[in-house]
């Protein structure tokens, strides 16, 4: 199987992976936002997701676009902006 070189496909994959992380880790996300330690709580899940993403996406597309990190912000952070936290 060849690596993804299409930027839309790469972005879609990143969003899908992070959406799955969010789906199965709602309690960790809520707690992580409340206590400002979301990246500590989801460290393993995010590492696993990033490894999956990088195994499927061309390295140049990954470096040039940063889709995985953008998906983390858009899906794990922005979508949970209603969770009470001192970081807001």
Q: Is the residue at 5 inside a domain?
A: no
Q: pLDDT at position 17, please?
A: 98
The pLDDT score that the predictor gives to residue 80 is: 75
Question: In this structure, is residue 85 part of a structural domain?
Answer: no
Q: What is the DSSP letter of 74?
A: I
**Per-residue confidence (pLDDT) for residue 83, from 0 to 100:** 75
Instruction: Tally helices (H) and strands (E) across the chain.
Output: 6, 0
Backbone angles phi, psi at 65, to 5 degrees: -120, -25
In a domain, 1, yes or no: no
Residue 20 placed within a domain: yes
Backbone phi, psi, residue 83, to 5°: -75, 130
| Cα first-last separation, the chain | 43
Q: Is residue 88 part of a domain?
A: no
Per-residue pLDDT in tens (0 to 9) along the chain, 88 residues: 799 999 999 999 999 999 999 999 999 999 999 999 999 999 999 999 999 999 999 999 999 999 999 999 999 888 877 778 776 6
4 lies in some domain: no
Q: Into how many domains does the chain fold? A: 1
Domain that holds residue 66: 12-80
Note the pLDDT of residue 88: 62
In this prediction the pTM is 0.90
Largest CA distance in the chain: 45
């Amino acid at each position: 199987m060849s690596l993804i070189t299409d930027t839309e496909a790469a972005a879609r994959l990143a969003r899908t992976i992070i959406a799955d992380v969010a789906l199965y880790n709602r309690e960790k996300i809520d707690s992580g936002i409340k206590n400002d330690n979301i990246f500590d709580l989801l460290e393993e899940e995010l590492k696993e997701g990033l490894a999956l993403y990088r195994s499927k996406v061309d390295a140049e597309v990954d470096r040039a676009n940063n889709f995985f990190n953008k998906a983390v912000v858009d899906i794990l952070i922005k979508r949970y902006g209603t969770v009470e936290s001192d970081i807001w």
